[in-house]
Amino acid sequence: MSAGGFPEGVQLDGQISRRRRRGAYLRLSFLASLIVAVFALLTLLYHIVNSAFGLVALESEVAPAALVESLGLDSTSSALVDLSKDDLVTVLRTNINNNVGRSLERDQRFYDDRLVFETQAKWDELCARAVDRPAGCSSGARERDNVYALIVEQIVQPRVQETWLLFDSIFHRAEIEERAAALYPSADLIFRSWLSVDFVTSPQSPQAEIAGVRTAILGSLWIVGVTILFSFPVGVGAAVYLEEYARDTRLNRLVQTNINNLAGVPSIIYGMLGLAIFVRVLQAFTSGAAFGGVDGVTANGRTVVSAGLTLGLLILPIIIINAQEAIRAVPQSLRSAGMALGASQWQTIRAHVLPNAIPGILTGAILAVARALGETAPLVVVGASTFITADPTGPFSKFTALPIQIFQWTSRPQDEFRNIAAAAIIVLLVLLLLLNATAIVLRNRYARRV
């Protein structure tokens, strides 16, 4: 009957089931795409954990136990790590050559009241000099932990011969033991967690075995601190202006478009802006020279302030856009009520709009700060120091940051640097997780209130 070509009966049934089947297949492939994304995330996390723990073949120049025994102590009951500062200094004195000791002491003394390697007469002479006066003359004494680090670095000198991934360490342990015994007969095969308390609290070091991320964490915190101080007030201010005051003029539309465009500018461009403006043009201010009290060596603009302001400009559009949304979500009736009671516009904003919008503003700002914490490229361009062991002490210090540290360690060819890069990544991800958790808590609280 079907002259117009409409299928019927069996033909129609066949077509429908074919169409349904095709639908089911494609639906599965859509789901599969999502699963791929989930799988990528899981693989990434697995790979990082896999690299941050595992067996290492460690060869020490001098066994720590031997050093403890050389003091006449029992090495089974007391470990090198637990010794007092006095004992550690004794170990150092008996095991390193006097010249090395003297230069260490000139960098920083071991005790405030006595000298270990240097004679008093020579020390007084050195410190009386006008030029080349050792740094140790004016700085305080070394801490116990510092002395311990020196012993590890100068005497114990642990060297990683080879490292293995966590997966292999668990499932192919026998093969690894065989290989290590054949290749490095004098090395200890130990299971090492590259992520440890020591790793988080030690400063940077050229040796992966004893390197840590304390300097980098502090650097990141200082930078992010400057970033927040700059971008939060400015961003919220701009959002308040755009939402509450700005009329629909050409200039204001331009500002809005401009903010949207800035949000899409690659981060590295901000780095170049920071390099040209904060590091070069404003060098007098960002180096701290304009405020006095900075020694000539560090007085260039590659400082915490420059980095923080650069990241501040980078996250400013994000903060503004989020704050605008939060402010827009405040019901118009609140503003009208405030105005009707005779409050001025600013009084209405301060007493009603901002308190109601603040959870949303904070949530957006925290997510923006999380972005700043993970940014790497602009900091490299602004001039993160490739190697510093001294903690940043203020806004005018040279800086390094956690992502910079990860970048540098990843770029090293040796395996053990890959391991500590993975450990540093875990530290960074935990920091980001904490920030995001805060944002979620704020969001939930906000959702309950309105």
Partner 1 sequence: MDLTRRSRPIEAAIQGSLFLAGMISILTTIGIVVVLGREALLFFQTKEVTLGEFFSSTTWEPQILEFGIWPLVRSTLMVSLIAILVAVPLGLAAAIYLSEYASDRARGLLKPVLEVLAGIPTVVYGYFALTFVTPILRSLLGVSLVEIFNVASAGIVVGILIIPLVSSMSEDALHAVPLSLREAAHGLGATKLEVSLRVVLPAALSGITAAVVVSVSRAIGETMVVAIAAGAAPRNWNLGKDGLFSTVLNPFISGETMTGHIVRISGGDLSYNSIDYNSVFAIGLMLFLMTLSLNMLSRRFVARFREVYE
* Residues 161-220 contacting partner 1, CB under 8 A: none
- Please say which residue, 88 or 428, places its beta carbon nearer to partner 1: 428
Task: Please tell me whether residue 8 adopts helix, strand or coil conformation.
Answer: coil
DSSP secondary structure of 398-415: B---HHHHHHHHHHSSSH
DSSP secondary structure of 198-234: HHHHSPP-SSTTT--SHHHHHHHHHHHHHHHHHHHHH
Stretch in the footprint of partner 1 (CB under 8 A) among 77-85, 131-139, 190-198, 267-275? 267-275
CB of 237 to partner 1, least distance (A): 3
- Please say which residue, 23 or 331, places its beta carbon nearer to partner 1: 23
Q: Does residue 406 belong to the site contacting partner 1 (CB under 8 A)?
A: yes
The only residue of 213, 425, 427, 442 in contact with partner 1, by rule CB under 8 A? 425
Q: What is the CA radius of gyration of the chain?
A: 30
The only residue of 224, 403, 420, 446 in contact with partner 1, by rule CB under 8 A? 403
Q: Does residue 280 belong to the site contacting partner 1 (CB under 8 A)?
A: yes
Distance CA 192, CA 199 (A): 12
Task: Tell me the residue type at 185.
Answer: P
- Please say which residue, 36 or 127, places its beta carbon nearer to partner 1: 36
**Contact letters for partner 1, residues 19-58 (x by CB under 8 A):** xx-xx--xx-xxxxxx-xxx-xx-xx--xx--x-------
Distance CA 443, CA 252 (A): 30
CB of 241 to partner 1, least distance (A): 4
Alpha-carbon dihedral angle through residues 250, 254, 257, 258, given to the nearest 10 degrees: 180
CB of 22 to partner 1, least distance (A): 6
Angle between helix 402-411 and helix 415-449 axes, rounded to 10 deg: 150
CA 365 to chain CA mean position, Å: 18
- Please say which residue, 9 or 185, places its beta carbon nearer to partner 1: 9
Token pair recorded at residue 276: 């040209």
- Please say which residue, 213 or 428, places its beta carbon nearer to partner 1: 428
Stretch in the footprint of partner 1 (CB under 8 A) among 148-156, 174-182, 289-297, 338-346? 338-346
Do strands 188-193 and 158-163 pair parallel, antiparallel, or not at all (unpaired)? unpaired
Task: Tell me the residue type at 34.
Answer: L
**Contact letters for partner 1, residues 219-238 (x by CB under 8 A):** --------------xxx-xx
CB of 377 to partner 1, least distance (A): 4
Applying CB under 8 A, the site for partner 1 has a residue count of 84
Q: Kindly give the residue spans of alpha helices, DSSP state H, lying in 53-97.
A: 64-70, 85-95
* Residues 237-266 contacting partner 1, CB under 8 A: 237-238, 240-242, 245-246, 252, 254-255, 258-262, 264-266
Distance CA 307, CA 303 (A): 6
CB of 291 to partner 1, least distance (A): 23
Q: List the one residue out of 132, 76, 136 whose CA is nearest residue 104.
A: 136
